[in-house]
Amino acid sequence: MIAYLRQAIPWQVPLCGGLVTGLLVALVAWDPWTLWPLQAIAVGVLAAAAGWCFDEPAAAVVDVAPRGLAWRSAARALPVLALAGFWCGAVAIARQAFFGYPWHVAGQGVAAMALAAVWATWRRSAGHARPGARLTVLVVPACAAWGLLRPAERALPIFPYAPTPGPWQSSAILWAAAAGVALLGGALTLRRRW
């Protein structure tokens, strides 16, 4: 698995994703009231980097190799786990900037990475070689737009703002449900393609 990890994973993507999210968290910590939308962009970058880890440029060869999708996905999930650890550490360091809800913010990033990883694995199971690259084009702008415009903020507080507890609790429920759907979807996808 070490050789596979060394050769198959585009390590520059999770490394750059980690650096960008660390910079965004630092900027939010510097001025949370003004730069809060950067937190949503950071979550989008995390999801994009996680999805990109599952791209397989040599899909025509790898898909017929003896190692199955579950084994390859487990190996490709290791950099995503490292990225999740880095994200949680960055949020913990800057916890004063998150209006008293740092673990809610950490959960947003982890759930977004789980959703991206499961979506990319599902698309890989359908034979798509580079689902993460396509996801990046959509998820970063979508998170940026949602963080800046905050449409339907009362009904869907995806990225709540300020220390009001109600939206943060609703957001935590939404992100926990999304993470649960991701885990279930991942289990079903890998079970079907084991």
- What is the Cα–Cα distance from 3 to 10, expressed in whole angstroms? 13
Is residue 11 over pLDDT 90? no
- What is the Cα–Cα distance from 190 to 21, expressed in whole angstroms? 29
User: Which burial class, exposed, middle or buried, applies to 115 when counting CB atoms under 10 A from its CB (0-12, 13-18, 19+)?
Assistant: buried
- Per residue in 100-126, pLDDT (tens digit) is 999 999 999 999 999 999 999 898 888
pLDDT at 33: 92
**Which residues make Cβ contacts (< 8 Å) with residue 103, sequence separation at least 6?**
91
What's the pLDDT band for 150 if we cut at 50, 70, 90?
A: confident
pLDDT at 163: 84
What's the pLDDT band for 87 if we cut at 50, 70, 90?
A: very high
**Inter-residue contact 183 to 76 (CB < 8 Å):** no
- What is the Cα–Cα distance from 37 to 158, expressed in whole angstroms? 12
- What is the Cα–Cα distance from 189 to 194, expressed in whole angstroms? 9
Greater model confidence, 12 or 7? 12
- What is the Cα–Cα distance from 76 to 4, expressed in whole angstroms? 9
**Stated pTM of the model:** 0.90
Greater model confidence, 56 or 113? 113
What's the pLDDT band for 127 if we cut at 50, 70, 90?
A: confident
Question: What average pLDDT does the structure give for the chain?
Answer: 88
Greater model confidence, 21 or 157? 21
pLDDT > 90: what percent of the chain? 56
Give the mean model confidence (pLDDT) for residues 10-23. Answer: 90
Q: How far is CA 120 from CA 47, 54, 69, 186, in A?
A: 10, 6, 12, 10
Report the number of distinct structural domains present in the chain: 1
**Inter-residue contact 5 to 82 (CB < 8 Å):** no
**Inter-residue contact 54 to 69 (CB < 8 Å):** no
pLDDT > 70: what percent of the chain? 91
Tokens 């949370």 identify what position?
32
Tokens 């490394």 identify what position?
15
pLDDT at 165: 83
**Inter-residue contact 181 to 165 (CB < 8 Å):** no
Three-state SS at 146: helix
pLDDT at 193: 54
- What is the Cα–Cα distance from 59 to 38, expressed in whole angstroms? 34
**Inter-residue contact 116 to 52 (CB < 8 Å):** no
Domain extent for 8: 2-192
